[in-house]
Amino acid sequence: MHVNKFALYRGPVLGYFRRSAMWLSWVMGLLVFAYTGTLLLDGNGFDLLIDGVLSMLTQLVLLTVCWMAIGRAGRGHPELVLTAVAVSGVVAANVYELSALGRGEVLTFPSPTNVGYLLFYVLMTIVIGFRVRRRARGLDWSVLLDGAVGALGAASVLAAFLTPFLDSVGGASPDASGSIAVAYPLFSLVLALAVGGVAASQSSAPDRRWILLVLGLMIFASTDIVFGIMGGRYVVGTPLDAGWMIGLALVVVWLDASTRPDAAPGHAARNAAALVLPAVSTIAALCVLVLSSQVTVSPFAIALAATTLALATLPLISRQRALRRQLRTDDLTGLPNRRALYAAVDGQLAADRERPRSLLLLDLDRFKEVNDSLGHDAGDRLLIQVGSRLASELAPGDFLARLGGDEFAILLNDSGQLEAESAALRLRAALAAPFTLEGIALQTSASIGIALYPEHGDDLTGLLRRADMAMYKAKSSHSGHHLYRSADNKHGSTRLRTLQELRTGLAGDQLVLHYQPKIELKTGTVNGVEALVRWNHPTRGLLFPDQFLALAEESGLMHSLTQVVLCQALDQAVVWLAAGRSFTVAVNLSASSLVDAQLPERVAEMIESRELPASALTLEITEEFLMADRERAKDVLARLRGGGIRISVDDFGTGYSSLAYLRDLPIDELKLDQSFVFPMAEDARAAALVASTIDLAHGLGLRMVAEGVENEVAYDELVRYGCDYAQGYFICRPVAAADLDLWLAQREISAGTA
């Protein structure tokens, strides 16, 4: 095996190098702090210890940290190298200046120090250009204008403030040192504020490291401003030296932080604070123009202020347009929203009222289960993909909008009934192809309601109302799409009224349970019942599940309904247990209830609070849920069964699915669908299927329950085939708990007399 000897040492060497750089950074910070403190306490002139030794040592450490960072960054970072060269130029100029002062020399303009300082500004301008260019990619032009407004507005204020110096620069005999003193703060402050303006106006928060550079340049610039106000006459050993040193140190800290791999930029949502800088700068520029009418202000400052105001109007116009687009755009999918739909339809109808059109209202089937099982993020991604597929199927001129939730509206031009129904079939076919979410291939379907213009309405409000009625008709009948009929109007009103009454019924204890006993065929004893929900409607009487369960599923009330049923069933189990009957109560759960990840814990808590054994409850599920999401079913059922709750597969044999799940999933019993039990007495093939299914269940260690036993022949055949349990009208119809108690008492009396 070949061993790279260099690789053996590279890791430890780099680790030592990084630790050394970290310690040196701390030393740099302490030296800057010490130097600043001594100047503030005693900054009245040249001191050999402070302005000579301590200053030179601090700058030497700054320079070392700077170039160590360059060595750590490696190639491919020209802006960092330019920053290091700029810092080196300032340090070199400072060293030259201090050495000249130490020799008693008087520096005249121009001197090598000016070259080093001006080189800093030139190189940092290039560095800022590199950084801003990278961050500005993909930004809206109005964002960049915000930065320009911020920079120019601040520069106009500074130019007005430094009017005497600017006049001296433009005079016949300008003071050279004063000119340089003014050039430094102008150059530096415009540079720093331009960066801050662009960063503050971006859609995400600027990199925290980026702020270090901006802050360093602004401190450097502020010191230059004070220097300019003092006349540009440099005196060594004053607090001004501390300002330049701190600004330079922050630039080095930015450079050092930018080369560390563990330093990550921070992000935050854009908010109103992003507009503060351009707004304040615009007001400041306006103040400069007003001030120019009262006192003498440099023409340069006036020009900057006027340019600021001119540019400030452009972002306002852009924002108005962007706001208008935003108000008519769905944030998630980027499609037009309900407001845009109304605007589009009103415009088209006003342009041509004779042109036939159709409105399709599309709603995804069982979309709530996606949110519940995979999370709202996955649901959002599904909606984005759905919107994209729908848009790809439409012709130019057709209009697609997302109205909210999982509901989409499509306006088709030049479309009658045939064209609308053809489009509905095409859209449903496009959505039938699997979507990939969270690594899962998910298939979805949609229900589409169709309303025609002008037959079904002469405005969008009427068309939407009738398309909505047609859509719910398609959903309830599982027909895929439905064209509005006048009879749907009554159905829609009835549905809305029934939905409101169901909500009231759930809150007002109108749901009741009936119980159908299960007979153990070997002994003829009853040790379990199935709980079946009924709605005791105040005006329509006792309603069976087929009259309200589908509505509860569509409207998202199934979770609440299941909770009510479980509570009532377990409460009744407590009553029976107190009476000496240890019945197992079976409760049916829909697929939408089973996607609730907290279901096992919630059911276990309900059982424990009633001091019931976990075996007192059996949950009946359908093959549909087992096959829709095998892994999720396995997880939920394993947690339920791990708590002692029994699991039964209801309507077994109707799922037309692979039987492999019987081996993989934790279940206890199978309930043979009544469609196999009914024809047993007259159909030998049906009887053979029942017998083989019982053998299959026993071979897998599962109990078999036959439902729908309607006559004595079927009962006796099930006993002969070895079926474990049976239920049906031949034994007992579903009845209220009190009636079941009477039936049990009469059965016990009959058994005793026999």
Q: Judge if the upstream peptide bond of residue 278 is cis by omega within 30 degrees of 0.
A: no
Tell me: pLDDT of 272 over 60: no
Tell me: pLDDT of 97 over 90: no
Identify the pLDDT of residue 516: 94
The average confidence (pLDDT) of the chain is 77
CB contact at 8 A, 66 and 120: no
User: CA dihedral defined by 430, 431, 434, 438, rounded to 10 degrees?
Assistant: 130
Identify the pLDDT of residue 351: 77
Q: Which residue has the higher pLDDT, 715 or 377?
A: 715
pLDDT digits (tens, 9 = 90+) for 124-136: 777 777 766 665 5
What is the pLDDT confidence band of residue 606, given thresholds at 50, 70 and 90?
A: very high
pLDDT digits (tens, 9 = 90+) for 658-700: 566 677 778 889 998 888 888 887 788 888 888 998 998 898 8
Tell me: pLDDT of 557 over 70: yes
For 718-752, letters b (16+ CB in 10 Å) and e give: beebebbbbbbebbbebbebeebbebbeebeeeee
Q: Which residue has the higher pLDDT, 21 or 569?
A: 569
Identify the pLDDT of residue 271: 44
Q: 668 by DSSP, 3-state: which?
A: coil
Identify the pLDDT of residue 5: 39
Tell me: pLDDT of 339 over 60: yes
Max Cα-Cα span within the chain? 133
Mean pLDDT throughout 308-331?
68
CA 735 to chain centre: 48
pLDDT digits (tens, 9 = 90+) for 496-549: 777 788 888 888 889 999 999 999 999 889 989 999 999 998 888 898 888 888
Q: Which residue has the higher pLDDT, 297 or 668?
A: 668
State how beta strands 669-672 and 646-652 pair. Answer: parallel
Q: 441 by DSSP, 3-state: which?
A: strand
Q: Phi and psi at residue 247, in whole multiples of 5°?
A: -60, -45
Tell me: pLDDT of 468 over 70: yes
Q: From CA 210, how far away is CA 133, in angstroms rounded?
A: 14
**List of domains in the chain:** 338-484 (3.30.70.270), 500-743 (3.20.20.450)
Q: Phi and psi at residue 172, in whole multiples of 5°?
A: -70, -35
* Residue 198: how many other CB atoms lie within 10 Å: 25
Tell me: pLDDT of 264 over 50: no
pLDDT digits (tens, 9 = 90+) for 164-197: 655 655 544 445 555 555 556 566 555 555 555 5
- Vertex 681: Cα angle to 680 and 687 (nearest 5): 30
Mean pLDDT throughout 579-599?
83
Identify the pLDDT of residue 17: 47
The size of the chain, in residues, is 754
What is the pLDDT confidence band of residue 205, given thresholds at 50, 70 and 90?
A: very low
Q: Which residue has the higher pLDDT, 276 or 467?
A: 467
Q: Which residue has the higher pLDDT, 662 or 381?
A: 381
Contacts of 406 (CB under 8 A, 6+ apart): 363, 364, 367, 383, 386
Mean pLDDT throughout 709-713?
88
Q: Which residue has the higher pLDDT, 613 or 494?
A: 613
Tell me: pLDDT of 379 over 70: yes
Point out which residues pair with 58 in neighbouring strands: none
Tell me: pLDDT of 283 over 80: no
Q: From CA 557, how far away is CA 536, in angstroms rounded?
A: 17
Q: Which run of H or of E encompasses 620?
A: strand 617-622
Q: Tell me the chain's radius of gyration from C-alpha atoms.
A: 40
Tell me: pLDDT of 273 over 70: no
What is the pLDDT confidence band of residue 240, given thresholds at 50, 70 and 90?
A: confident
Q: Which residue has the higher pLDDT, 112 or 265?
A: 112
- What are the Cα distances from residue 214, in Å, to 81, 219, 221, 565? 18, 9, 10, 64
